[in-house]
Amino acid sequence: MAFAIMTMTDQAADRVREIVAGRAEQGAQGVRVGIKKGGCAGMEYTVDLVTEPDPKDDHISHAGAHVWVDPAAMLYLLGTQMDFEVTKLRTGFVFNNPNQSSACGCGESVELKPADLKELAEARGEL
């Protein structure tokens, strides 16, 4: 099995499938995850609708849900688990990212460092 940049929980897959079903008339196939500069901590996660997948994106699927990962974000998202949660204060995707070094107080932006590829290879027993 190929190595996946990210994984997603059943809850995240359920929400992605709901988004696709709600936008079927627009040709929705899944969502695209990336990062952009912004917020008080420096970076923000992005989640956008995918109607036409970019062949350069990394593709992950779980339980019938499809997520594409922006190549520019891959080193920052390596090892990340995409989840979806509903709380009293917030509903949305949550990214459990080992490359996150801090977050702002409101949780809308994060500080990310690129993944250490040597450390990853050692953890996978490749070195």
CA distance 56 to 113: 22
Question: What is the CATH number for 20?
Answer: 2.60.300.12
What is the pLDDT, as a whole number, of residue 95? 93
Domains in the chain, number: 1
- What six digits make up the tokens of 91? 């509903």
- In a domain? residue 127: no
- In a domain? residue 62: yes
Model-level pTM? 0.83
CA separation (Å) from 106 to 3, 43, 72?
33, 13, 25
- In a domain? residue 52: yes
| pLDDT, greater one: 3 or 51 | 51
What is the pLDDT, as a whole number, of residue 47? 96
What is the pLDDT, as a whole number, of residue 18? 98
- In a domain? residue 104: yes
In terms of average pLDDT, the best of 61-70, 95-104, 117-126 is 61-70
Residue 22 has pLDDT above 80, yes or no: yes
- In a domain? residue 126: no
Per residue in 43-68, pLDDT tens?
899 999 999 999 999 999 999 999 99
Residue 123 has pLDDT above 60, yes or no: no
How far does CA 46 lie from the centroid of its chain? 8
Q: Which domain holds residue 91?
A: 4-121
pLDDT over 90, % of the chain: 60
